[in-house]
Chains A and B, each alone.
Chain A
C-alpha cells in the first residue's frame, strides 16, 4: 500500500460521530472522504452504549425540545453553553428521524412509533417529574446506531483505513493539513494529506481502574492535539456511571432504573429518596454516584467488605426485563453469576465518560484559546470533543445524541470548508514526530513494564482523582504522575516486529493516557469548588461567582498552563441544582 494519501476530508475514528461525519461529508458533491480507525469500525465503543438516545419526540408522553435543553443545562450544573444545548435539543429530534430513515430498528410502541422510556435527569415542565425521552432499541441502542451507520457507509462506498493508529496531526502555518498514522498490519507510517480533518476518536476511560470503557479508549487524539499546543477543555469533569458491575465495571444501563429499578443499601433501604426526593433513582449520574459512595462510606454498603450497592430489579415483570434489558441481564448472569430477575445485582460507580475534551465551536471547529480562535481545517465531534453541551455532568442518552448531532455537523462543515479551500503544503519531514515516538518506545532502556505503569496509573487515578477529590489527593496525584512519566521514559517493548505489534501500540497508548491524566488532575486541582462530576470535599459548594467558567489546560514544556473562558449563558439563570 502506498504510504502517502490525499483526501479532501479525513475522519479519525469510526464510531457513531466518525461515521456520521463521513456520511455527511461524502454527500457534499466532489468531496473525497476517508475514515481512519484504530479498530474495525464495528468494534468502536459506540456499540456498547445501551439505554437510548434522548430526543423530545413526544411519542409516549408530551415533550418539547425546550424541556430537553433545560434538563441538559441543569444536568450540566450550568456549565453547559446554553446556545449549544438549545441547538442540540432541536437537532437531535431531526437526527433520530434520520437514523430511523436509515433503517435503524428502534423498539416500537403498540401503535408503531419509536418507543421511549425514562432516563436520569430527563423531566417534563422543567423538573416536575420524569419523562419518557430515551428512544431505544432494547438495551442495544448504541449497537444499532453503530451497525446502521456502518451499513450506510458500505452503501455509500466510504473508504476505510482499518487498524491504523493515528499518532500525530499535522499543523502548518496554524492550519491542520492532515495526520500521520501507524499501520498495524505492516508497522509502516502513512501520511494523510487533507484539506479538513475531523477527529472523532472517543474517550479516555482507561485511565481509571474500574471503567465501562473498552481497552481502546486511551484518549489518543486528545493527547495528540494537546501535544500540538491545543488546549483540553474541562477535563476535570469526568463522569462515573452509578451502575457498573462490581469490580469489573461492565455497564448496566440507566435504562434499568428507567424501567423501575431501585438502588438499595445493605439494609435494603431505597436511599435515593434522601438525596433526590423528586426523581429519586433517576437523579443525574453525578448525584447518584456520590450518594452511593456516601452510603458505602457510612457503613451501609453491601457485601462482606461493605463496599458495593445493590440494583434491585426483582419487582419488575420478568418479561419486561428479558425483552427490554436482555443484554445487561446476560452480563450479570455471566460475569457475576447473579440473575437480575430473582436476585439483587452488586454494583459500584464505573468510570464512564469525559465531559471535557478538544474544545470546539457549536459548529465543531476546533479552537485553540479562550478567544475562540479557530484552527482552520480541524474539526472534532463525539466524546473526544467538548462543544460544552454536557457541562459538568452529562445526562444519560445525551452521548448518543451528541454523536449524531455533532458528527453530522462535523461532516457538513468539514466538507463545506474542504470544497472552498485548496490543499496546503505539508510540513517538512512530516513523519519525524511519529517516528520518534515509535523509536523511543522500541529502543528504550527496557526495565519498566508498560502494564505495570498503566496499572499504577489506573489505581492512583481511582484513589486520588475519581468521584471525590481534595487538594491533598490531587497534589499527591500530581506527584504520582510525575513519577509515572519518568518511569515511562524507561519502558521496554519485547516485541520488535513490524506486523501487528500490539505491544508497541499499548506502549504508545500509555503515553497518551498519561497526558490525559495530567490534564485532568491539574484542572481538578485548580478548580476550587464542587460542580457536577467534579466534587471537591474541601470546597463542597458550587461557586458561580468565581468558577462559572470553562477550564482550558495547555501543555507547557513538562508542565501545564491553565486558562479559563466564560460559559455562554442564556435564558436559564443558574439556580441551586435540586431534584
Chain B
C-alpha cells in the first residue's frame, strides 16, 4: 500500500549567481540558508528565498511541473528545470546559475530571443499545400510513432544551452531547433522537408554537431536529442545521394 512521503525537514545552503544590471557591474554569488522539506522542488526553495528573504531575486517560472519550460537553469552544474528537481536528490549545498550561452538579463533571466530565432528558422510548422479532406488525414500508429519523441519538446532551451558547440559559436542553430525540424521531417503528412533540410544543411546548421550528448542528458522531457540529430543528418545525406 502506497503512502505519501513524510515531510522531513533539513537545512540546506543555496548558492545563487546574482546579477542586476541596474546595480551590479558583474555577476556575484550570494548564499542563503533555508529549511527545505523532502518533497520540495528547487523551485520551492527559490520561491522561499524570494518570498521570505529577498524579493529582488528574479527568475521565470509558471506551471511548476515540467510542462511550460520557463524555469530551465543550471542546478549543481547541470541544466534542469527547477520545478522538476527535488531537493532530496541534491546535496546539502545547491548551486543555481542561469543557463549558459544566452545573454543574462537579470539573475536567472536570460535573453531567449536568439533561441527562438533559431527555432523559427527551421520552418517549425506543418507544411502541406494539398487541399485537406473534409475529415482528417489518416496516419498509421507506426507512422505516428516515428516522430513521437520529438513532439515532446517544450522549448525550455536546456539542450541548446548545454551544448559546447553552441557555447563556442552562438550562431549554431542548436539541438532544440533540429529536434523541432525532426518533428516535421518525419511526419508522414508533411511536405516541407526539402526546405527544412536546406536550412539545416547550411554552415551553422546540423553539421556543427559534435555528438557530445550533452543535449540528450539535459533534456527534461527525455527526448533522445542526439539520436534525433543523427536521424536528420542521415535524412540529409540520403536526400543528397
Residue positions of A touching B, CB distance < 8 A: 39-40, 42-45, 47-48, 57, 97, 100-103, 105-114, 137-138, 140, 143-144, 147-148, 151-152, 154-155, 185, 214-216, 246-248, 250, 302-304, 308, 310, 327, 330-331, 334-338, 343-346, 449-451, 493-495, 497-503
Contact = CB atoms under 8 A, between A and B. Distances in A.
A346 B3 CA distance: 7
B32 to A, nearest CB: 14
Given A43-B60, A154-B125, 10 more contacts: A39-B62, A42-B69, A103-B190, A105-B151, A151-B126, A247-B39, A310-B2, A494-B55, A494-B56, A502-B58
Interface residues of B, number: 65
Contact of B137 (A101, A143, A502): A101
Nearest to A140: B152
B61 interface: yes
B109 interface: yes
B112 A40 contact: yes
A102 B190 CA distance: 10
B63 A214 contact: yes
Interface in B59-90: 59-70, 84, 86
23 contacts: A39-B62, A43-B69, A43-B70, A47-B154, A103-B126, A108-B140, A108-B144, A113-B138, A137-B151, A138-B148, A143-B67, A155-B123, A214-B63, A216-B62, A247-B4, A247-B39, A248-B65, A308-B4, A335-B39, A346-B3, A497-B56, A498-B22, A502-B59
Given A97-B136, A105-B144, A107-B144, A151 B124 contact: yes
B138 A103 contact: no
B237 interface: no
Contacts of B120: 154
Given A337-B5, A493-B55, A503-B56, A108 B141 contact: yes
Nearest to B59: A502
B64, B140, B187 — which one has the most chain A CB atoms within 10 A of its CB?
B64
Interface string B92-129: 00000000000001110100100010001001111010
B172 interface: no
B51 interface: yes
Nearest to A49: B67
A47 B132 contact: no
Contacts of B140: 108, 112
Nearest to B52: A451
Nearest to B41: A335
Given A247-B39, A494-B55, A499-B106, A48 B67 contact: yes
B105 A185 contact: yes
B105 A42 contact: no
6 nearest A-B pairs in the assembled complex, by CB-CB distance:
A103-B126, A451-B51, A112-B138, A494-B55, A151-B125, A495-B56
Contacts of A215: 61-64
Nearest to B147: A105
Nearest to A266: B1
Contacts of B3: 302-304, 346
Contacts of A108: 138-141, 144
Interface of B: 1-5, 20-23, 39, 41, 50-52, 54-56, 58-70, 84, 86, 105-107, 109, 112, 116, 120, 123-126, 128, 132, 134-141, 144, 147-148, 151-155, 184, 187, 189-190
A97 B155 CA distance: 26
A69 B22 CA distance: 56
A48 B65 contact: yes
Contacts of A155: 123, 125
Contacts of B39: 247-248, 335-336
B54 A494 contact: yes
Contacts of A101: 132, 136-137
A48 B68 CA distance: 7
Given A101-B137, A152-B125, A247-B39, A42 B152 contact: no
Nearest to A50: B67
Nearest to A137: B151
B65 A335 contact: yes
Contacts of B1: 302, 344
Given A152-B125, A500-B105, A336 B50 contact: no
A187 B60 CA distance: 16
A275 to B, nearest CB: 23
Contact of A147 (B70, B132, B139, B151): B151
